[in-house]
A = this chain, B = another copy of it.
């Protein structure tokens, strides 16, 4: 197994899923050590940098990739195991961008009201204590929060020739902003084009569920991932697996549709895992699922539906691929 290290030049950054030639070809089984720029494209470096002045919304969520996976064909399942996520800077940044976020009107939920105050927060990373520090901008309150790195964005090229902004979560993955996309998680994505053309980015040093104000503790990230390929079997929507949970992510609007999508995908997965009738899978998940909102702020809202493995008989999805990749991750 090769370990490929890659840090994009500024002009190599991608801002879309699809529409870009691959930056590198990788083979199933390869491990990658990747650097990604922060979601604001390094435009906010202090609390005095306001998003309205500094952030160019055409160039946000810069992606590292796309990577061409040798042998990947439409209908296949791309498996990406996240082995390790480490902040690549000593600080992260969050911002309340005017008319962007969950508790403000937006270009979609359009009202005639004024914007909330454009505000930037800087979080200092304490590597020893593994925290990021919140400091109030309108008072003296301070608190150190656990560092919990995750990737806001991971996805493949869309089908049907579409090219989507890296701000969009969809069937192809993308900007799902799920805190469950963290070290130890395997992400399964349906392949839509030859080579899959996946990319990652939008590292978060931590994020609450919903990502209420629209931006997490955004930061440049060093990611170690392992790539693998399952021939055929593409899930309808992204699936996640950890040592403890099976999950599916739905991304649409309104939010109940995101939930419906993820819940139906989990019903399908449970039918497969336990050879259940649809109605029994529906019932069993009704009594056991967790359903955290991942984001309530992006172009589509994302909901995760997850099932704790501990409740159920042991089953190995995809022939135990997650456990295999997890094992390899520990030996990198």
Interface residues of A (CB under 8 A from B): 15-16, 18-19, 58, 94, 96, 102-105, 107-117, 119, 121, 132, 134, 136-139, 141, 143, 145-146, 159-165, 206-217, 236, 250, 252-257, 259-261, 263-264, 267, 274-280, 282-293, 296, 301, 303, 305, 311-313
Could you say how many copies of this chain the assembly holds?
Answer: 4
Q: Which residue of chain B lies nearest to A132 when distances are taken between CB atoms in the complex?
A: B287
Check A259 against B210 for contact (C-beta < 8 Å): yes
Give A203 Cβ to nearest chain B Cβ, in Å. 14
- A213, B286: Cβ atoms under 8 Å? yes
Minimum CB–CB distance for A130 against chain B, Å: 13
Q: Indicate if the CB atoms of B311 and A303 lie closer than 8 Å.
A: no
Q: A134-B283, A283-B213 are in contact. Are A110 and B15 (CB under 8 A)?
A: no
Judge whether B291 and A293 touch: CB under 8 Å.
Answer: yes
Instruction: Pick the contact of A255: B18, B109, B254 (CB < 8 A).
Output: B254
Having A103-B267, A143-B312, A253-B253, one finds 10 other A-B pairs with CB under 8 Å, namely A19-B163, A94-B286, A114-B114, A132-B287, A138-B279, A143-B313, A209-B289, A256-B296, A259-B296, A292-B293
Q: What residues on B are CB-neighbors of A293 within 8 Å?
A: 259, 291-293, 303
Structural contact, B161 and A162, CB atoms closer than 8 A: no
CB <8 Å contact, B119 and A110 = no
B279 touches A117 (CB 8 A): yes
Please indicate the chain B residues that have their CB under 8 angstroms from the CB of A278 in the complex: 112
Q: A58-B160, A117-B279, A282-B96 are in contact. Are A256 and B255 (CB under 8 A)?
A: yes
- Residue in chain B with minimal CB distance to A284: B134
Q: How far is the CA of A306 from the CA of B107 in the complex (A)?
A: 20
A290 to chain B, nearest CB (A): 5
What is the CB-to-nearest-CB distance from A7 to chain B, in angstroms, rounded to a whole number? Answer: 23
Whole-angstrom distance between the alpha carbons of A113 and B286 in the complex? Answer: 17
Q: How far is the CB of A292 from chain B (nearest CB, A)?
A: 5
Is the beta-carbon distance between A15 and B161 smaller than 8 angstroms?
Answer: yes
Are B301 and A256 touching (Cβ within 8 A)?
yes
- Separation of A12 and B208 alpha carbons in the complex (Å): 44
Closest to A167 in B: B160
Docked Cα-Cα span, A163 to B94, in Å, equals 29
By the criterion CB–CB under 8 Å, are B117 and A116 in contact? Answer: no
Going nearest first, the 8 A-B pairs with the smallest beta carbon separation are: A138-B277, A254-B254, A255-B255, A253-B253, A163-B163, A209-B291, A208-B289, A291-B293
Report whether B104 and A112 are in contact in the complex, using a CB–CB cutoff of 8 Å: yes
Bound Cα distance from A296 to B280, whole angstroms: 19
Interchain CB contact (< 8 A) of A283 among B58, B121, B236, B287: B121
Residues on B with C-beta less than 8 A from A301 are 256
Name the distance in Å between A21's Cβ and chain B's nearest Cβ: 13
Q: Which residues of B contact A160 (CB under 8 A)?
A: 15-16, 58, 165
Provide the residues of chain B in CB contact with A117, threshold 8 Å: 279
Once the chains bind, are A287 and B253 in contact (CB under 8 Å)?
Answer: no
Partner of A256, one of B164, B254, B261, B289: B254
| A217 to B286 CA separation, bound complex (whole angstroms) | 9
Given contact pairs A111-B103, A113-B105, A212 touches B138 in the complex (Cβ within 8 A) = no
